[in-house]
Structure 1
Amino acid sequence: MDEVEIVVAHSERATLRVGDVFLKVDADQARIDTEVAAMALAPVPTPEVLWQRPPVLAIAAVPGTALGRLGEPSTASPAAWAAAGAAVRKLHDAPLPPWPRRGKGADELAADLEAECGLLVTNGVLPADLVTRNRQVAEAALRPWTEVFTHGDLQITHVFTDGDEVTGIIDWSEGGPGDALFDLAVLTLGHEERLGDLVAGYGDVDVDVIRGWWSLRSLLAVRWLIEHGFDPFIPGAEVDVLRARM
């Protein structure tokens, strides 16, 4: 019998792997519904949906290996990163999905950033100078943007390649209208040295905005990660991303 592997687990959701099947258990049925709908519409390789019985979604594993992992150097080739960029561009050029944005706009994010920076300093989670510098960098991301079809959580572990070909993009629960540069920033978080390879396949981007998203996402994520049993202080993770801006 195949062993049960816990891929990720916290109070909101859990993902288990049994052989070549992933079981996603989510307290928010809307996220599962979004995932199924987004995968059906996305013009890029996605996992096969095997069955859905709320609150569980079963999907097939995709072939290939992830582009990398946060905190570890990516061993994927420059061509694989460029192929990932081309796939993300294809997604962003697709028609918008027929549901509203799940994420927040620039004004809401600015309010969240102000509150979170205060908590990070007041509670002694991060040094004040580190927070202040990254808050300044984050301002570049807080601008109006034209919504495109985004993945919404395009972590490096969510993009799979085989050789120089993208074989699958997984975990679409945050898919929908959003900022294209947020997707690119999440994919290269902690792997700044691969941004050039990604852009070679994607096309021209405003690098200052991507840097802004690196800082903004990391500042907003640190306390959540700690509270949910993750460690943003490991080498290459969110705190190192913030330190790189100093």
Structure 2
Amino acid sequence: MTTGRSPRDEVKVVVAHSERATLRVGDVFLKVDADQARIDVEVETMALVPVPTPEILWRRPPVLALAAVPGTTLGRLGEPSTASPAAWAAAGAAIRRLHDAPLPPRPGRAGRTVDELVAELDSECEWLVANGVLPADLVTRNRQVAEAALRPWTPAFTHGDLQIAHVFLDGDEITGIIDWSEAGRGDALFDLATFTLGQEPHLRHLIAGYGTDADVDLDVIRAWWSLRSLLGVRWLIEHGFDPFTPGCEVDVLRSRM
């Protein structure tokens, strides 16, 4: 039996958990967020950044409607990216334009202070070991690696959640960067680390586009891989995601051993 409905009529759940959800209906994305402040940040940020962003179609709290961005992403966490070195370099150049932009008015996710990070990191490491989620030696080793990220940094305009699935390209041209709710002043190397999490072979291509004249410390990027993964495991588990999926956070932590 046929319903006569086309794929454009279908509602697809892109991501959903207790904090927010994103749905796709045809060429429209509907972002539903109980925290109005996150939507405010997203709308304000997209008006400021010097890179392509989705078109805002309408906004009726708690829903933000965005037009789909053309092109395809560089890949997804947990899957090796098949994008070309030129595509990774183009992404690096776009990220550099963002980081060089005038600073936004507020700190973002990448702007947590060293003291805040240390307190959060120590708490998460203790939880991971006490609950038998990860072996103590794995947590201890990655806590040591993460130490390099706990240093003073010069604020930049950061995305705050720059996963490879959030950057779209058509060929080697950036067509859009999505999901700006965590944006603000922060550590530029946090963005670079988030973008290359689980994609270490492509780091050199990204940096080639980002610019070797920038202050890019590869040890700090690797430290952020450990730090971000340690901080993310509990949240992922509690929100219905699996950090043990091959290529994801736990594999990133194991690769530091």
TM-score (norm 2): 0.94
- The Cα RMSD (Å) is 0.9
Distance 1:101 1:158 in 2: 17
Cα deviation per residue 1:207-229 (whole Å; 9 max; x = unaligned)?
A: 00000100000000001101100
Cα deviation per residue 1:77-129 (whole Å; 9 max; x = unaligned)?
A: 10000000000000000001123445421111011111110110010000001
Distance 1:147 1:213 in 2: 16
Cα deviation per residue 1:42-90 (whole Å; 9 max; x = unaligned)?
A: 0001000000110000000101001101111111110000000000000
CA contact (8 A) 2:189 2:221 kept: yes
2:152 to 131, 141, 144: 144
Matched, 1:81 2:96: no
Equivalent position of 2:256 in the other structure: 245
Distance 2:84 2:223 in 1: 26
What are the ranges of 5 or more consecutive residues in structure 2 without an aligned counterpart? none
Pairwise mapping of residues 93-242 of structure 1 onto structure 2 (< 5 A)? Answer: 93-101=100-108, 103-204=111-212, 205-242=216-253
Equivalent position of 2:14 in the other structure: 7
Distance 1:54 1:120 in 2: 36
Distance 2:85 2:113 in 1: 33
Cα deviation per residue 1:11-63 (whole Å; 9 max; x = unaligned)?
A: 10000000110000001000001001111100001000000110000000101
CA contact (8 A) 2:108 2:182 kept: no
Q: Secondary structure at the match of 2:22?
A: strand
Equivalent position of 1:36 in the other structure: 43
Cα deviation per residue 1:167-215 (whole Å; 9 max; x = unaligned)?
A: 1000000111010000000000000110000000002310000001000
What amino acid does structure 1 have at the position aligned with 2:233?
V
Q: Secondary structure at the match of 1:235?
A: coil
What amino acid does structure 1 have at the position aligned with 2:180?
W
Q: Secondary structure at the match of 1:8?
A: strand
Equivalent position of 1:54 in the other structure: 61
Q: Percent identity?
A: 81
CA contact (8 A) 2:107 2:186 kept: no
Distance 2:49 2:231 in 1: 28
TM-score (norm 1): 0.98
Distance 1:134 1:66 in 2: 29
Q: Secondary structure at the match of 1:41?
A: coil
Q: Secondary structure at the match of 2:86?
A: helix
Q: Secondary structure at the match of 1:172?
A: coil
Q: Secondary structure at the match of 2:47?
A: helix
Distance 2:187 2:12 in 1: 33
Q: Report runs of 4+ in structure 1 exceeding 3 Å deviation.
A: 100-103
What are the ranges of 5 or more consecutive residues in structure 1 without an aligned counterpart? none
